[in-house]
Amino acid sequence: MTDETWMETELAQLRAQGLERQLQVMPDAGGVLMLDGRRVLNFSSNDYLGLARAPAVLEAAAAALRCWGAGATASRLVVGTLPCHAELETRLAQFKGYAAALVFGSGYLANVGAVSALVGRHDRVLADKLAHASLLDGATLSRAAIHRFQHNDVDHLLRLLRQKPASARDLIITESVFSMDGDLAPLRDIARVAQEQGAMLLVDEAHATGVWGPGGTGLIGELRLQQAVSVAMGTLSKALGAYGGFIAGSETLKRWLVNRARPFIFSTGLPPPCVGAVLGALDVLKKNPGMGADLLRRADAFRQRLQASGFNTGSSVSQIVPVIIGDNQKMLAFARRLRDHGILAAAIRPPTVPAGTARLRLSVTLEHTCEDLNRAAEILTNTAREECLL
């Protein structure tokens, strides 16, 4: 057998630092769970609008399953593009306000595929310091030079842009709503300097799609920046409640990605039930365009209660509310105590977040009532005081 002692040694080191990750089998995935016979509020889900189990979404998924089967059976470039894929891409383009859209197997694959297809070894990627790992992995695979600008620091970005070699293409990558901090990118300013300096701009709207903007079109849509943001990425697995990812942009961009984005070329098409579910979710959003605004109001009230208790919620202004503890072990102990009290919260540690900023990442969803959120704030406050964290 292969010697795996090196793995055990490194895993032991991670365990000692409070950094070893383990899988947990959960009985359900909704905003409210029955866990060990108790009602538990789940703040670890990204199903922001509660659409993953919405009847209209489930029926649309079932209809697609009956019509086209369980799988696409081949890559999109062979025979894996079905009528439902074409319909979804048309709907997503219209939804986001772009000429075209291309669906990938996941949000991760969409980012990796787009970034690695748009730049190469003679080009540059300018990435926000807190940009998602999938964006950075795409940059690494592209072999472009990677430059990181300080989080949301447009002046630093501009200084880097002005250092551009004459023959290089520049690609700026950022999130619109940051996944671990819940704050917003200064998109207007970033788009302005991108246009001034002739750089491409890719914006990851994973946590904005479905929540921000008119009818959930995203922060790009809210700010009407479609002409300035040349590449818009979104997921189908968060507010839209299913699975997959997509890139929206021009028809030329879509054709380029079809020919150059390796995660698209070498992957089987998204399963029809997932496609049907997203089409159903888009229908629900069209009929209920205020869902995202309702969620943001609830999250704002919840965040204000936590701040009033003395919690550090960083710069969050979204449905993602971090409770920053700092120390890994203290944060893990806090998460365990909260679970005992009926609160399930994601414990986020390095390398997902910078060292010294371990936190609970609380995702507010429409499945959490105002009463649930008030109760959660009270439990968080009382438990933190018991743990001497406040």
201-243 pLDDT, tens digit each:
999 999 999 999 999 999 999 999 999 999 999 999 999 999 9
Q: What is the pLDDT at residue 73?
A: 96
46 flagged as catalytic: yes
156 flagged as catalytic: no
238 flagged as catalytic: yes
> Mean pLDDT score of the chain, rounded to an integer?
96
| Res 78 pLDDT > 80 | yes
| Res 295 pLDDT > 80 | yes
- What's the CA gap between 230 and 250, in Å, rounded? 8
Name the segment(s) of the chain with CATH classification 3.40.640.10. 55-287
368 flagged as catalytic: no
20 flagged as catalytic: no
175 flagged as catalytic: yes
Tens of pLDDT, residue by residue over 33-42, are 888 888 899 9
Q: Which long-range contacts (CB under 8 A, 24 or more apart) does 251-259 make?
A: 251/99, 251/100, 253/100, 254/100, 254/101, 254/102, 256/117, 256/118, 257/102, 257/113, 257/114, 257/117, 258/76, 258/77, 258/102
Identify the active-site residue in 42, 152, 179, 318.
179
Q: What is the CATH number of domain 20-48+290-386?
A: 3.90.1150.10
Amino acid, res. 152:
N
Q: What is the CATH number of domain 55-287?
A: 3.40.640.10
pLDDT band at 32 (very low <50, low <70, confident <90, very high): confident
Most confident segment among 95-104, 159-168, 380-389: 95-104
Name the segment(s) of the chain with CATH classification 3.90.1150.10. 20-48+290-386
Q: What is the pLDDT at residue 387?
A: 92
Identify the active-site residue in 147, 207, 254, 368.
207
Identify the active-site residue in 46, 111, 116, 230.
46
Identify the active-site residue in 89, 123, 170, 175.
175
- Which residues are CB-neighbours of 46 under 8 A, at least 6 positions away? 207, 237, 238, 239, 363
